Amino acid sequence: MEDTPTREAVVPRLRSRFGRDYTYVESCPSTQRVLATDAPEGAVAVADEQTEGRGRLGRRWEASAGTSVLCSVQLQPAADPARFPELTIVGAEACAEAIRAVTGLEASVKHPNDVLIGALKVAGVLGEASEGRVVLGIGINANLPEAALPAEVRIPATSLLAETGAPVDRIELLVELLAALERRYDAWQAGK
């Protein structure tokens, strides 16, 4: 299955405004560094491989090429900055929703930023706020074989491949993620 999330492969499939400003790189230290500070709301930076990704509390989140959904999304909320941390949860809920929609697996959110299948971590969301913007960094273990999952972690890890026994179309998952994130973000902005 060819599912490299290039601009040409993803943008025509988008169903929402998020991702219309789309940057793809094969490899980078972190997608958050690829996303320009002056990018418009809904801009997305995507990498096929991430070498220095970060999770909550400075933990590392690395992913080899072709295995994960790795992106950062620019948000410019018209809200009190004291509410900005809530967007990490909004992102995690959107991630769980996208996983359910694409795989049928029962994904849930472990407050504030982990997405689990059962007791195993399949994804993480990191929100970073500065200068009136919030960048959500999202990583989903999509097609990692069980043998490649990290062993020395706080919460045992899994992948969608390990859970379903079949590869997941990362483009479909990313498109679903961006649509779910936009819906949930708009509802959050409206105070719902």
- pLDDT tens for 84-103 read 999 999 999 999 999 999 99
Q: Per-residue pLDDT for 56 more than 60?
A: no
State the average pLDDT over residues 133-150: 92
Q: Per-residue pLDDT for 22 more than 80?
A: yes
- What pLDDT shows up at residue 54? 57
Sequential DSSP letters for 97-113: HHHHHHH---EEEETTT
The pLDDT mean for the chain works out to 91
CB environment 128-137: b (16+ within 10 A), e (fewer) = eeeeebbbbb
> Which of 68, 35, 74, 32 has the alpha carbon at shortest distance from 52?
32
Q: Per-residue pLDDT for 55 more than 70?
A: no
Taking the C-alpha atoms of residue 138 and residue 144, their distance in angstroms, rounded to an integer, is 16
Q: Per-residue pLDDT for 185 more than 50?
A: yes
Taking the C-alpha atoms of residue 34 and residue 84, their distance in angstroms, rounded to an integer, is 21
State the average pLDDT over residues 165-189: 97
Q: Per-residue pLDDT for 163 more than 70?
A: yes
- What pLDDT shows up at residue 155? 84
- What pLDDT shows up at residue 30? 87
State the average pLDDT over residues 162-167: 96
Query: What is the token pair recorded at 60?
Result: 């590392």
- What pLDDT shows up at residue 57? 44
Residue 174 makes CB contacts below 8 A (sequence gap 6+) with 5, 10, 19, 46, 69, 71
Instruction: Summarize pLDDT for 60-71 with one digit per residue, the tens.
Output: 555 678 999 999
Taking the C-alpha atoms of residue 92 and residue 39, their distance in angstroms, rounded to an integer, is 22
Q: Does 40 sit behind a cis peptide bond, omega within 30 degrees of 0 on the bond before it?
A: no
% of the chain exceeding 70 in pLDDT = 93
Domains of the chain: 7-189 (3.30.930.10)
